[in-house]
Amino acid sequence: MRIRIMTLGLLCGVPMVVPSVLLAYPNEERAVLDLSLSVPTSARLDTERQWLLLASGETLTVVDLATFAKVGASDTPYAIASDEDVNGSIQGLAISLENDQLYATQDGGALLIYDLTDLTEAPTRHLVSTGSNLTLVEYDSDRDELLMLNETNASIIRFSASEGQVLGQVPLTTTGSLTIAAMHYVPNIANGVGALYLTGTTGKLYLLPSVGSAVATVVLDVAGTDDLTGIAARPDSSIVYVINRSDKVLHPLTATNQAQLATIALGENSDMESIAVTDVTNPSGTYGFVVGSAGLSVFDTANNDLFDLGTTDDEDEPLLLSGSGPILAGDDGYLYVPFGKISVVSDNPFITVSTVEYSNGGTSMGSGESVALTFSSDEGGTYETRLGGDTTQNGSLIADVTGASSGSVTADTATTIIFQKDDSSLWDEGNNRFFLFVTDTEGNIGRRATAVTVDTPPPAVAISSVGFGNSKLYVNINRLPASDISTYRVYADTDPNVVAAKGEVAGTAAQSSSGTITVVVTGLQNGTTYYLAAEAVDSGGNVSVSRTVTLADGAVASGFPEATVGPVGLSGEAGCTLRPWQAVDGRQVRARESR
């Protein structure tokens, strides 16, 4: 964020306002992503996979924060609405990167547990409290437990994530109903002990230690009428901040003993609903971010100074946002506010990829072909191109057709770079994640990933051996490892000069996940020599660059079907080992068994 500091000078006896700029974080709403989303009931960040997870109704949506788009079909979460065993409206989300699990509470008292490594799989369902409305949920990393708000009876349900069972239920009050607006677990406050903090409409803060079973109460409003709407803690778990929407202030408390510190006035903002506190690298420090109806209020936790981010002369104005909602702070200099759309707030450059065009006019790049990417950045600086990796710039540098993997870019100006697919390139078959990174003049780094598809013909296959059976041959092929291999084809003919170009396929086999591929060729005449050829076909219909007509040792690939007798014939053949060949009258024929 840039903080505008206005200093005074004199010009002909009249005060002159001279703007200067100091570095801070963040400085503006960089983009508003319109991904046809609903207003979320809950949102979480997966910082390991750089995903934003949003729940709305019975739908779980994942936004890839590398591409700033919904994840592809291969990562789209399981549709619980179509499965009566797990359907139900999702009320709250929690995440455990240690367990690679996402937790979703449902109306009706159920808990869903998703595997983050494969969200396409159906989640595991636990009926935690029949007929109850489970809403907010937090993950207790100190105890590997889930803490779920049972809104029906105003209690906290403790659930063992590892054992998959309820550990107990703790009432929040003995005086009847209670409205809870926000819930936040603060880990490792002292000696590995954390605490669950809850706020509501009574001006009180409720506290449940991770090792205790009794709820403590901290009174922040003696009259008991203030609306407390959000909670967040410093990353070091030292101070907890509570939003007081009624008084338009923040209540800081020491996490160890809940001592109340001086309140922080939120200035021109109002209707505050969510808060995030995170460490910042440029400049180094810890900052708090509060979302309200007037925008984003930002303060420095070192001195509780509220920044003036508005465009008028009024003091302590918030940064104007396109909408309000929960705020989530990434670990890479980005803030996200989902409200149906997603507001992206950062001091990093924002990159847009406008076109990905293949030289063949199609949707993929083959050998010797090229792809042209056109992009722009909202700030000037230098760009870098990488293949694979993630948002931390750990992919492989890749050079364009000029040999450069970096260059300069002018703000809001389209730049086109061209890459060619050749045998020495880093491109993989299928979809490749291509990253653009732009570094501005202040050292802030923005990123954008896009997909580039490579579709090249499969290589020639290797025939490892040929087995025989009754009127059939078994052609064993070494499996090709490319991800897009679909099937293997085998051709057979009694003329070795015909089989290499024959159009009629004699047998096929689908790609397997491992092992040797065996293609069975049937309908052959016993006692006849058949010459064989093999090739692979990928999912795009590309065929191997050449047919293979020899075995790995260079011998001609051929077979000699025979009726099987004895134990093999009775038990069912599976490709008997062929007897050696011998030269007879200039032809290769099967050697007779000795009698």
**pLDDT of 16 above 90:** no
Tell me the average pLDDT across 110-129: 97
Asked if residue 82 and residue 117 are part of one domain, the reply reads: yes
In a domain, 415, yes or no: yes
Same domain? For 343 and 384 the reply is no
By residue range, what is the domain housing residue 362? 352-454
| Residue 359 sits in the same domain as residue 370 | yes
Q: What is the per-residue pLDDT across 432-486, written as a single tens digit (0 to 9) for each?
A: 999 999 999 989 999 999 999 999 899 999 999 999 999 999 999 999 998 889 9
- For residue 43, the tally of other CB atoms under 10 A from its CB is 23
57 and 98, same domain (yes or no): yes
Residues 119 and 134 in one domain: yes
- When the pLDDT of each residue in the chain is averaged and rounded to a whole number, the result is 89
Q: What is the mean pLDDT of residues 176-197?
A: 91
338: preceding bond cis by omega (within 30 degrees): no
Is the residue at 399 inside a domain? yes
CATH number at residue 504: 2.60.40.10
Query: pLDDT class for 511, splitting at 50, 70, 90?
Result: very high
Same domain, 307 and 424: no
The per-residue pLDDT for 176 is 59
Strand 517-521, strand 558-559: pairing: unpaired
343 and 356, same domain (yes or no)? no
Is the predicted pLDDT of residue 154 greater than 50, yes or no?
yes
230 domain residue, yes or no: no
Cβ neighbors of 155 (< 8 A, separation 6 or more) are: 149, 169, 170, 171, 172
256 found inside a domain = no
End position of a domain, from candidates 454, 471, 487: 454
Indicate whether 316 and 371 sit together in one domain: no
In this prediction the pTM is 0.82
Domain count for the chain? 4
Q: Per the domain annotation, does 252 fall within a domain?
A: no
Residues 338 and 429 in one domain: no
Q: Tell me if 497 is assigned to some domain.
A: yes
Whether pLDDT at 300 is above 90: yes
Digit-coded pLDDT (tens) for 577-592: 544 444 445 444 444 3
CATH number at residue 87: 2.130.10.10
Q: How confident is the model at residue 312 (pLDDT cuts 50, 70, 90)?
A: confident
Last residue of a domain, one of 429, 454, 479: 454
Looking at the fold, whether 161 and 288 belong to one and the same domain comes out as no
- The CATH number assigned to the domain holding 371 equals 2.60.40
| φ/ψ (deg, to 5) at 345 | -115, 130
| pLDDT range class, residue 47, cuts 50, 70, 90 | very high
pLDDT at 573: 61
Q: Are 516 and 477 in contact (CB under 8 A)?
A: yes
Q: Which of 67, 166, 19, 51 is nearest to 119 (CA)?
A: 51
Question: Of 407, 433, 454, which residue constitutes the final position of a domain?
Answer: 454
Q: How confident is the model at residue 556 (pLDDT cuts 50, 70, 90)?
A: very high
State residue 68's pLDDT score: 97
In the predicted structure, residue 530 carries a pLDDT above the cut 50: yes
pLDDT above 60: residue 67: yes
195 domain-assigned: no
- Non-local (6+) Cβ contacts of 414 within 8 A are 354, 374, 375, 376
Query: Does 148 share its domain with 48?
Result: yes
- The pLDDT assigned to 28 comes to 87
Q: Is the residue at 585 inside a domain?
A: yes
Domain check: are 276 and 319 in the same one? yes
